[in-house]
Amino acid sequence: MGEYYNYIKSLHLIFVITWFAGLFYIPRLFMYHIEASQKPSPEKEILTKQLKLMTKRLWFIITWPSAILSTLFAIWLLLMIPAWLQQGWMHIKLGFVVVLFLYHWRTHQIFKQLQNDDVRYSSNYMRIYNEVSTIILFAVVFLVILKNSINWIFGVVGIVVLAILLMLGIKLYKRIRDKNPEV
């Protein structure tokens, strides 16, 4: 496999982790930005300015570079082990990677809208939107670890159950928050 395989794989995983860290946190910042836009002046302007700066730094210093570097190291791994491209689990994984890039691109569009003070979504929408990357992460990790089509069926059922539990958790949190705004 080559003497550099473990180094390339490690770098790929490190940048996947930092990419997901950015994708997990930026919708949270979007939520705060949306909520700040509903506050009275001068609190609205102060918070919005700070949140724009935070999201810009997260997006361009951590998230985008991590997406690019994890992709480059992934391509390098596929060039080192082209036989992976013949395996069904890799096709499904790459399908999820395409979905992840679509999610990333959509997140970039929302980022640009909020940078221009164009608030189109509710903070509750962003809470739900935030869980898409979680579902993709679960799918990819289980797929890469199991690599078996029979186990993949259980994985799909597990992802659906996870999605349902996440949605129920969001609804429960909303109820708790509505009763106690300090939470």
**What is the rounded CA–CA span in Å between residue 82 and residue 87?**
10
Count the helix, strand and coil residues of the chain and give each as a percent rounded to the nearest 5. Answer: 85, 0, 15
Q: Residue 156: which residues within 8 A CB-CB, separation 6 or more?
A: none
Q: Is 12 annotated as a binding residue?
A: yes
CB atoms closer than 10 angstroms to residue 53:
10
CA angle 139, 142, 148 (to 5 degrees): 110
Binding residues: 12, 93
Binding residues for heme: 12, 93
